[in-house]
Amino acid sequence: MGGHAPYVWSAWGVTALLLLATVWHARVEQRQLLKGLKRRVRRQNGTRGAPNDAKRKQKLFVILGLVSLAAIAVGLTLYALRANINLFFSPVQIAQGDAPMERQIRAGGMVKRVRFQETPRAST
């Protein structure tokens, strides 16, 4: 992949993570809707249920896991891009020795517009 494999695979990983998070969020919303409907039916019937702390802990662990996976994916992406970043230096900075010698850099800067006059050539 021309040295871009870490970036490509980390992009695939982030995409897959986001898709999984979307599916997970839809399932959580469905469960909350059903829980709300059950609560409404219990309220109408006059019965009450105890709060379930185990499910709250489970949700917390799932959220922490997803945040951790996202942080790892971002970290791997930044690590993969670290080697492919080209640093930009002007010719003045290069002449002063500010540019690193061990890294690949891009040289450039402002170019003055100069008009050139073509000299007539002798025909042979």
The tens-digit pLDDT sequence of the chain (124 residues) is 567 788 888 888 999 999 999 999 999 999 999 999 988 888 888 765 555 678 888 999 999 999 999 999 999 888 877 766 666 777 788 888 887 777 777 777 665 666 666 777 766 5
106 belongs to a structural domain: no
Q: Which residue has the tokens 């050139």?
A: 116
22 belongs to a structural domain: yes
pTM of the model: 0.36
The residue range of the domain holding 82 is: 5-96
Contacts by 71-77 with C-beta closer than 8 Å and gap 24+? 73/10, 73/13, 73/14, 73/17, 74/14, 76/6, 76/10, 76/13, 77/6, 77/7, 77/10, 77/11, 77/14
Q: How many CB atoms lie within 10 A of CB 10?
A: 20
107 belongs to a structural domain: no
110 belongs to a structural domain: no
Cα separation values, 83 from 8, 42, 44, 62, 79, Å: 14, 60, 63, 33, 8
69 belongs to a structural domain: yes
Number of structural domains the chain divides into = 1
101 belongs to a structural domain: no
